[in-house]
Chains A and B, each alone.
Chain A
Amino acid sequence: MKGKFKQSAKFLSILVIAISMLLSACTNNGDKPTANEGNTNASNEETKAPQEFRFTLGSNPPSLDPALMTDAQSSIVAAGLYEGLTRLNTKGEPENAIAQDITVSEDGKTYTIKLRNDVKWSNGDSVTAHDFEYAWKRALNPETASEYAYMLYYLENGEKYNNGEATADEVGVKAKDDYTLEVKLYAPAPYFTSLIAHYTYLPVHQATVEAAPDWASEAKSIVSNGPFILTSWAHGDKLVLEKNPNYFNKDAISFDKVTISIVVDNNTVYQMFETDKIDWIGAQAGSLPADLTQQLIKDGKAEVTPVASLYYYLFNNEKPPFNNVKVRKAFAMAIDRQSLVDNVAQANQQPAYGMVPPSISVPGGQDFREAYPDNYFTDNVEEAKKLLAEGLAEEGLSELPEITLLYNTDDNHKKLAEAIVDMWRKALGVEVKLANQEWGTFLETRKAGQFDIARSGWGADINHPINFTYDLIHSKSGNNDGRYNNPKVDELLNNSLVAETSDKSIQMMAEAERIAIEEDMAALPLFYYTTVTMLKDGFTGVVSDYAGHLDWVHGSKQ
């Protein structure tokens, strides 16, 4: 026994030595920052290049091929890699990029775009009008199977070509010469200059694309034309972009290096910010942990920016009881939106009484909501009770049938749904059941119209109210999952596309929105999203754009 003890004592002491060695190794490592604390700027020690910007994305970009991109993450990276005809500034207004001069024909259907002649691809080739013609036709080519091809349906015969009913030659885009692009539209689109800033309209390098279909999935095979070049892409881990020395407007670019880490966990993103590994959180480039958000806003450490996205519930307009407008209105008015934002959503979101978010502007730069405020209804429990009773009577119902609120599985959606169901219970005395489904299943159920009330959210592709009117309340829109159908609204929206002036067009869209909400309560708007962002001191020009996507390209560090 004694021998055994000796042995184990010896063993233990070895273990202790090993552990202490490990610990001392760690302490040595820990010494570095401690020693540096004496210096004035210890935090600068790690960033060797002064003009470096670092942030995270929640997922690996699925593609950096402009024709195939569909998500915010890819678009944040692509904004640095590619240059289009126009680029949106921080206010969301289009500014000429490769386009030098854009002229529109009388009927608003033909655009003649003069291109700069000093723009180069990263392999040295010139960027010409032919590249744009090729890229747009490629995105529409049925064989490319681009999910965002519909963004190009504005082009004459664009939709037909995508459907296989027209040839590529019939599509309304043509390079007149190397630096002149002629675009023919199917109908006038006053926001066309914003539209061509969208990533589906970015040019691609023909020889590169034709050489390998997977050209856009590795850093070394990407040929781009933007302010930055992708120097490395470790999938699921890190993307590194460096300033493009041949970019035509390189003086406007300050960052030398941009490092993008793929980090899923919100808490990890925050810890990385705290330990000075990243410079930015928010706007689709990492988000703050929900339990810290409110405190950080209160302490002035985080900033809240409105986002052109709407959080709303869909009513199934075809199924009782929500085929009745009074019942729809009752449910919409029985919610205390401010309380919902303050106590549940908790990121200073703005209560929504319309469909178009406040950060959407109209051509000319004015906010849409300034001209057309969303005072279409109010939170009013008494009125709601009355309307519910009347609505049920109209339908010949003595009591409400069983109603289920369907949402996609997620903690935040769940909290909101529970709070809303509670508000309905208190205000209207109705019992609404909750059901949740995993995302893919949920989308299928919702598309099939198998719900009473379903959660929904909608963001903008371009800075224009059409995103929230035509897309959501037109009876022909594929995104109108509540199957709202009012011919008056359809007519207004159709006419808005061919209106003589942009003002008239906007006015018609606003009127369509008013009818859909004030008169019909087609859906149940809840709030307009915000994004909560944090930025390290010393950076300027890094912002969340109108849509709530990080815009970092023109940032700099002092």
Chain B
Amino acid sequence: MTISAAEASEQVRRKDIRDRWLLSAPALILIAVAGVGPLLIVVLYSFLAPGNYGDVKWQFSTDAWFSVLFTRDIFDDTLSIADAHLSIFWRSIKLAIATTGLCVAFGFPTAYFIATRPSHNRQIWLFLITIPFWTNMLIRAFAIQEVIRNEGIVNTLLMKLGLIAAPIPMMFSDFAILLGMTYVFLPLMVLPLYASIEKLDFRLIEAAYDLYASRWNVLFRVIVPLVKPGLIAGAILVFIPALSSYVIPRVLGGGKNLMIGNLIELQFGQGRNWPLGASLSVTLVIIVLVAMLYYVKNASKSGGAHG
């Protein structure tokens, strides 16, 4: 035996790490090639000029980035703010925030309700929340469409009851998008909130009542601060997919009520402006990353406060 024990154990350690890289290589390569790697090409494309029939011309250009925010007048070459884009960004953000708010309003009581059931029933209630989550989003959007369309059951019912004479138009509006997104993303709010509330120490609530807190005070001064990590997690989980939603506005918003996702798609379809689509995509990713960083910062802060 020529090698020392120390060398041998170092060799074993190195081989172990090499094996671990080999084992994880297929997953990493798959994600790099067919997942997130092509995002780099999107960044590249955002700095090129549009081709005549879609695709790009291989020349450097910052026009796409420019036109995310500004439009150049075709006659006198003056600059003005790109109202069309900004209003779509603004609508997307408003809708995503409203969706998050509605999901908190409905999701918090629901999560609290589940967490306070006897433990053997909790799994069943949780299961009922998870099922819609795992069913096709398109089908769920379609289901909402059936409920609120002019000939849908809500309008039909109201008319049969004689409450309204003509159907209330609800489809193809911001309201329809908001309803659809709340419906689709609600489980994403309930699940992390449930995880937080389930860990809640109810002796703290007893202590609060013991110290003369009202129900209102108990809710907002004890329960909500304690489940804040779950609340933030849920808010991020709802806000991000809501902001980048594509299917819901397409099915429920019709052609006019666009969100960022549809605006991006448009550049690759009728718009034939791939660089603009690429720069809009990068902008969306940046917004999402900022939201994520905010979440991570808050999560580590509240984690630090507890331990």
Partners in one complex: no
